[in-house]
């Protein structure tokens, strides 16, 4: 970039040799366009994890046998542009849950309202009709096992961050090990289930 800037300065100086301030303004415009371009590229790369471009493998749409005869209704709070959230919703609906989608203007406020500590937060929050919270990419079969026998004083389950290979975060053959955390109403937590990458 320094070489480009020096060449641009030399070209502008040849054309306008006596106007140093004009040369400086031209260089500032060139640099600002480069910086804006780099910022936009970085932003697009950062948002690609939440794009709609990933395919949902059929293996995540396996129906789960539930001890109850009715579908569990989930209120899902997410950004309207997050593709991995959309894929996770497809995963849980394919497993027999029903989902009502909400796009709040303050997603962080929703997480705070339901008592989800920042250390457990992810890109979406689901709340069951029984009042249990499921934060992030929690697998549907783990959710169902939890709902069939909820631990005493449980707030819900959380998968912090966005681990590769978790439901909605399929990235080819990339898989991370991750923990599904049991969150209690008093703020304490423990590992509910460890998920091993393939």
pLDDT tens column, 2-22: 444 444 444 444 444 545 444
φ, ψ of residue 193 in degrees (nearest 5): -155, 140
- Collapse the DSSP code of 192 into the 3-class scheme (helix H, G, I; strand E, B; otherwise coil) and give the result: strand
What would the two tokens of residue 122 be? 């992810």
Got the DSSP string for 112-142?
Answer: HHTT--GGG--S-EEEETTS-EEEES--HHH
- Collapse the DSSP code of 6 into the 3-class scheme (helix H, G, I; strand E, B; otherwise coil) and give the result: helix
68-77 pLDDT, tens per residue?
A: 447 899 999 9
Read off the pTM.
0.66
User: 180 versus 51: which is more confidently predicted?
Assistant: 180
What's the rounded Cα separation, in Å, for the pair 19 and 23?
6
């Amino acid at each position: 970039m320094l070489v480009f800037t020096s060449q641009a300065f030399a070209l502008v100086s040849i054309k306008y040799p006596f106007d140093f301030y004009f040369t400086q303004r031209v260089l500032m415009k060139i640099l600002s366009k480069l910086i804006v371009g780099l910022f936009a590229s970085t932003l697009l790369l950062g948002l690609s994890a939440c794009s709609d471009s990933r395919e949902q493998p059929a293996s995540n749409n396996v129906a789960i046998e539930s001890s109850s005869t009715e579908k569990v209704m989930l209120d899902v709070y997410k950004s309207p542009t997050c593709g991995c959230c959309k894929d996770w919703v497809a995963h849980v609906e394919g497993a027999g849950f029903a989902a009502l989608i909400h796009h709040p203007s303050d997603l962080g406020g929703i997480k705070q309202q339901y008592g989800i500590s920042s250390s457990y937060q992810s890109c979406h929050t689901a709340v069951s009709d029984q009042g249990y919270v499921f934060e992030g990419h929690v697998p549907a079969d783990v959710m169902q096992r939890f709902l069939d026998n909820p631990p005493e004083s449980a707030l819900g389950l959380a998968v912090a961050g966005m681990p590769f290979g978790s439901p909605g975060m399929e990235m080819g053959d990339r898989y991370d090990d991750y923990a599904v955390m049991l969150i209690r109403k008093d703020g304490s937590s423990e590992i509910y289930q460890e998920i091993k990458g393939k």
